[in-house]
Every structure is written in C-alpha cells, then in structure tokens.
Amino acid sequence: MEGPPQITPTGLADYLDVMSKAVFQSGMSWRVVEAKWAGTRDAFYGFDPVRLIDLTPDEVDRLALDTRLIRNRRKIEATIQNAQTLLDLDQQHKGFKRYLESFANYDALSADLIKRFKFLGKTGTYFFLYMVGEPVPSHAEVMG
C-alpha cells in the first residue's frame, strides 16, 4: 500500500499544516479530517504560525464553534501552542528544517517531537515526518 503524497515544505505554515492534520486525526477517522481540512486551513489562517500565536481568547472561542473544522477545543489550543513551539525552534536553530536535521536518528527526533509538541504521538510523528519528506524507517518497523 502506498502512503499519501509527500510535500516539500516551503515555509513554517506547511510544517504546521501537516503537523496539525496529525494532531486533529488523533482519535478521528482520516475521512472526517480530510473532509474538513480545507475549512480547517481557512479557519487557521493557512496555518500561519505568526498569526496563530496572536489569537485572542475570543477568536479561540469562535474557532471552537466553527463548523468548518473539528471543534475540539484542546486540539485547537494545541495547534496554537504548537505554532509557538515551531517558531521558537525555527529561531533557535536558524530554521525548522535545521532543527529536524539536528538529530542523529529517527528515534531521537521522534522522541523530541513528542516531548515538545502537544497531541503529537508516535503515529502522528511518523506521519508528520513522512509527509514533509524527512527520512523515516519502514512503517512496519515503527508501528509493528
């Protein structure tokens, strides 16, 4: 079985988009997430992390009621926190891609991502890294 098509990220919004899809998928059907993703992307301003970290509590309340997306407040708040973490790592490493490449292997990177990012577990981390074109072991090795 072939995996979903990978992307070549052109900016932080691309990374946050893919990561957020993994976050929202946790505990949900992929079909539900796919059906709502265009609306989710719109509601989250194209996953522009700079815009997201400035959301007001009223804007977060509106997102929690927005029918275009999966209305899970904890995942909405996690997306905003993950945007800040992404920006912090981008600044600390002079590029988020440099952060990803700073680990000796998949296991070390995966463990760090899970520690730093909200709602990003083992499966979500694998999906995220695969989708953004980072080297990952075979699915059977990781999920087996």
Residues 98 and 79: their CA atoms lie apart, in Å, by: 21
Residues 79 and 49: their CA atoms lie apart, in Å, by: 9
The 10s digit of each residue's pLDDT in 88-135 is 999 999 999 999 999 999 999 999 999 999 999 999 999 999 999 999
Residues 59 and 46: their CA atoms lie apart, in Å, by: 15
The 10s digit of each residue's pLDDT in 41-72 is 999 999 999 999 999 999 999 999 999 999 99
Residues 86 and 83: their CA atoms lie apart, in Å, by: 5
Who has greater pLDDT, 139 or 29? 29
Length of the chain, in residues: 144
The 10s digit of each residue's pLDDT in 1-34 is 566 789 999 999 999 999 999 999 988 888 999 9
The reply to whether the predicted model has a pTM over 0.85 is yes
Structure tokens at 102: 């700073």
Architecture of 12-143 per CATH?
Answer: Orthogonal Bundle (1.10)
